[in-house]
Amino acid sequence: MRIGELSHRTDVSIRLLRYYEEQGLLQPARQPSGYREYREDDVGTVRNIRTLLAAGLSTRTIAEMLPCMVDEGRGLAPGCQEMLPDLHRQQNRIADAVAELLAARTVLDSIVAAALPPNSAEADGCRAAENTAP
């Protein structure tokens, strides 16, 4: 199948499919005319790529892990136990990022909660400063 059909069947833009190819995630055959020729299996591969991207993995990590992933009807899973430490590292990275975002939100919440009422003298001073800014 050509790239347009793969795009239609996977609901992924042609531009993204080309990017996946550049990243080594897809390896379509090339016709003598230069057209990409995708296999039926590539539909599942694109879906697996989308799943791993949604899990927060980078395309570089996906390129390393994708050949070892399997889907036997219960969802995408590592095909060998050796992948688990890498997946656990990714889980920890995401957990750390979530913790950092929650901490940032807590700080921002405290700043917002400390906001002056709109009719206070200090708030009037802020409006005066806005009017004199260059």
Q: What one-character-per-residue DSSP string does the chain give?
A: --HHHHHHHHT--HHHHHHHHHTTS---EE-TTS-EE--THHHHHHHHHHHHHHTT--HHHHHHHGGGEEESSS-EEESSGGGHHHHHHHHHHHHHHHHHHHHHHHHHHHHHHTPPPTTSHHHHHHHHHHHH--
Which pLDDT band, with edges at 50, 70 and 90, does 126 fall under? Answer: low
pLDDT of residue 74: 82
Domain closes at, from 38, 56, 79: 79
pLDDT of residue 72: 80
Residues 124 and 74 in one domain: no
Residues 49 and 113 in one domain: no
Single-letter code of the amino acid located at 88: H
Residues 75 and 90 in one domain: no
pLDDT, mean over the chain: 89
Domain closes at, from 37, 63, 79: 79
Report, as an integer, the average pLDDT of 1-30: 95
Q: Whole domain around residue 132: which residue ranges? A: 81-134
Residues 118 and 52 in one domain: no
* pLDDT at 129 exceeding the cut of 80: no
Task: Extract the tokens encoding 48.
Answer: 């697996």
* pLDDT at 133 exceeding the cut of 70: no
* pLDDT at 120 exceeding the cut of 80: no
Task: Give 44-65 pLDDT, tens digit per residue.
Answer: 999 999 999 999 999 999 999 9
Which pLDDT band, with edges at 50, 70 and 90, does 127 fall under? Answer: low
- Domain tally, the chain: 2
Rounded to two decimals, the pTM is 0.74
Residues 67 and 5 in one domain: yes
Task: Give 75-87 pLDDT, tens digit per residue.
Answer: 888 888 898 999 9
CATH number of the domain within which 8 lies: 1.10.1660.10
